[in-house]
Amino acid sequence: MNRLRQRGLAIVSSSILLVSLGSTAAWAGDPFRGDRNPSNIGDHTEAAFEAIFAEGNYRAALHHIQMALRTEGSDPLAPAIRASLAYNLDSDLETMQQYAEATKTAAQALLDRPNVSPQDQIRGNLYLAAGTFLDGVYTWENDKDYVSAALTVQEVFRYINAAERIDDEADLNDPELNLVKGYIELLLSVNLPMSSPENAIAQFEASARPRYLVDRGIAIAYRDIGYKAGKAEDATKARNAYRNALNHVNNSLDATPGNPELLYLKAQILHELGKVNQGVAKQDPTPSDVAQVEEALDLFNQALAARAQLPVSLPGQIERERNIAQTWLNTHGN
């Protein structure tokens, strides 16, 4: 698989992450709003959310969400998580599409409640966006239809914009909405020309919560900025971006230690940072460069040790990148 293909899969994975982030999941309180007007969800839905995002354990999340769907399925978070797990764990597009429809149904029911609150209106629109996005993934995977994909993106943004208007009118500055918007804006700003990733990062950092997911998103953004700078042969910009990415992924790991997806992300960042001198600046690698790639190799292996709990396509991708790191060390190491 070439690097462009890997980046495309990373964007899809980040988007699936985004879909599941459209939630009011809570453990020891709402992580988006804390004690300020928190939304309540069921214990099993909460456990599934934590298993994915704090632990990186998709198999445990599947166990919890199957139980949640039997007793807590009226909240649209439960079918949204089930849909994303169908895609990530089993590449099961039919199950994903089934729960995408269930997500939209539950989201619309939220909007149709008598005297619906602004907060629930925001959530309803976010989950309509999530379900619509998953519908678009289904269509794209089956048909590779660019026109339908573009129309789906327009509809997703229509729902996001509706949530944003409600947020502005109610003066909520809702951190859940800010998290979802932030992931979208980071993806677009890093991958589209004539955009400003720095502005998107600053706004995301200031307004979204929970913090460990903010740091994770910013680390991904800086990783990709570093990669683009390297392709443009700007070694200084690449180094600075990778160092910023490393700071943020370390912050996220401090909050959620042992998460294999974060270990993999840190390995990617160290791997690329260690190769800037040799690969971009066309200089001999330093002992520090070699040490960074050696640390990356160890982190790749740590992530692979948890392969049973990861999305089905991820261990193969990690192995390919680990082998690239090992080959580089065989040539440039001690």
Distance CA 242, CA 248 (A): 10
Match 């009226």 to its residue by tokens: 74
Confidence at residue 99, expressed as pLDDT on a 0 to 100 scale: 95
Higher pLDDT, 131 or 247: 247
Q: What is the DSSP string of 183-241?
A: HHHHHHHHHSTT--HHHHHHHHHHH-S-HHHHHHHHHHHHHHHHHHHHHTT-HHHHHHH
Span 316-324, average pLDDT = 95
In the chain, which ranges are E strands? none
Distance CA 131, CA 61 (A): 19
Match 């993934």 to its residue by tokens: 137
Span 265-287, average pLDDT = 95
Confidence at residue 147, expressed as pLDDT on a 0 to 100 scale: 79
The DSSP letter of residue 39 is: P
Q: Where residue 71 falls among pLDDT bands split at 50, 70, 90?
A: confident
Confidence at residue 41, expressed as pLDDT on a 0 to 100 scale: 64
Higher pLDDT, 114 or 15: 114
Is the pLDDT at 240 greater than 90? The verdict is yes
Higher pLDDT, 26 or 308: 308
Length of the chain: 334
Is the pLDDT at 30 greater than 80? The verdict is no
Alpha helices in 113-145 (DSSP H): 118-143
Confidence at residue 22, expressed as pLDDT on a 0 to 100 scale: 33
Most confident of 32-36, 98-102, 148-152: 98-102
CA–chain centroid gap for 318, Å, is 17
* Nearest alpha-carbon partner for 119 in 184, 186, 171, 70: 171
Confidence at residue 251, expressed as pLDDT on a 0 to 100 scale: 97
Q: What is the pTM of this model?
A: 0.86
Confidence at residue 209, expressed as pLDDT on a 0 to 100 scale: 79
Name which of 16-25, 27-36, 46-55, 140-149 the model is least confident about.
Answer: 16-25
Distance CA 134, CA 128 (A): 10
Confidence at residue 79, expressed as pLDDT on a 0 to 100 scale: 93
Is the pLDDT at 207 greater than 80? The verdict is yes
Higher pLDDT, 12 or 41: 41
Distance CA 58, CA 300 (A): 18
Mean pLDDT of the chain: 85
Distance CA 94, CA 203 (A): 37
Confidence at residue 94, expressed as pLDDT on a 0 to 100 scale: 96
Distance CA 53, CA 50 (A): 5
Confidence at residue 238, expressed as pLDDT on a 0 to 100 scale: 97
Distance CA 139, CA 192 (A): 23
Q: What is the DSSP string of 22-51?
A: SS---SSSBTTTBTSSPPP--HHHHHHHHH
Q: Which amino acid is at 99?
A: Y
Q: Where residue 29 falls among pLDDT bands split at 50, 70, 90?
A: very low
Q: Where residue 258 falls among pLDDT bands split at 50, 70, 90?
A: very high
Rg (CA), the chain: 20
What is the tens place of the pLDDT at every residue in 42-67?
A: 788 888 888 998 999 999 999 999 99
Q: Which amino acid is at 198?
A: E
Higher pLDDT, 30 or 218: 218
Q: Where residue 300 falls among pLDDT bands split at 50, 70, 90?
A: very high
* Domains of the chain listed by start with CATH number: 16-175 (1.25.40), 210-334 (1.25.40)
The DSSP letter of residue 76 is: T
What is the tens place of the pLDDT at every residue in 129-175?
A: 989 988 888 888 888 877 787 788 889 889 999 999 999 999 988 87
Confidence at residue 36, expressed as pLDDT on a 0 to 100 scale: 56
| Tokens encoding 264 | 């993999």
Confidence at residue 93, expressed as pLDDT on a 0 to 100 scale: 93
Span 28-55, average pLDDT = 68
